[in-house]
Structures are given as structure tokens and as C-alpha cells.
Amino acid sequence: MFRAFFFNPKSVKVMSTEDNKNKLNIEIDEKMADGTYANLAIINHSVSEFVVDFINVMPGAPKSKVKSRIILTPQHAKRLAHALTENVKRFEANHGEIKDYEQTPIPLNFGPTGQA
């Protein structure tokens, strides 16, 4: 199935060419459309959910805050992982390989360890 994504500041429409009855109109306000920058994601999971925390770590700063948290079912987490993989492949096909520059590990003190 082919999916096209159309974006404008007020709505995102996902349309399927196989079945035009499956239209989804998603509204987004201007503040959310601006997005939030993150350069670190921490992923935890239990048997029923994945929790992805997005953080902006500034060089030299001793402390950072979670900027956004997304909670997904395991099925949606797998779909997201697949969608990211496919989009990275398409990006690299158009723009060349994304270089993964090694950085020193960031020491993390991120609250208590999770339990399922």
C-alpha cells in the first residue's frame, strides 16, 4: 500500500491510494507544529508499553529535562521502528549515508530503574 503524507500548519492528511475511504485528518496547532528539539532519546518498556523520553542535552550542562514523552503499545513501537528504518533508507538514497559520529557516552542519572 502506498501512503502519501501532506502537511500544512493546520492539518496532516494521510491518504491511501488503495482505499480512499481510509482518510485521516489530523489537526495540529502552531505551537505543536514548531516541534521540540531533542538530541537524546531514552527508551524503557514493560510487557504492555514502550516509553520514549526525548531530551535536549546541552554540552557542559550538568542537568537536562525531558522535553517530551511518548507512550506506545508494543505493536505501535514496532511500526514506528519499521517506519523510521524505511525513512532513513529513503533519506540516504537521496542524500547519501548519514554519518554516525561517535561521541563520549553521556552519564545518565535518570531516576529509579523501571519494573514491569
Could you report the per-residue pLDDT of 24-58, keeping only the tens digit for each? 899 999 989 999 999 999 999 999 999 999 999 99
Could you report the per-residue pLDDT of 4-29, keeping only the tens digit for each? 444 444 444 555 555 567 788 999 99
Percent of the chain scoring above 90 in pLDDT: 59
pTM reported for the whole predicted model: 0.67
Statement: residue 95 has pLDDT above 90: yes
Instruction: Break the chain into its structural domains and give their ranges.
Output: 1-35, 37-97
Q: SS3 for 26-59, per residue?
A: EECCHHHHHCCCCCEEEEEECCCCEEEEEECCCC
Assign 101 to helix, strand or coil.
coil
Could you report the per-residue pLDDT of 62-73, keeping only the tens digit for each? 999 999 999 999
Statement: residue 112 has pLDDT above 70: no
pLDDT at residue 104, as a whole number: 57
Separation of alpha carbons 107 and 61, rounded Å? 12
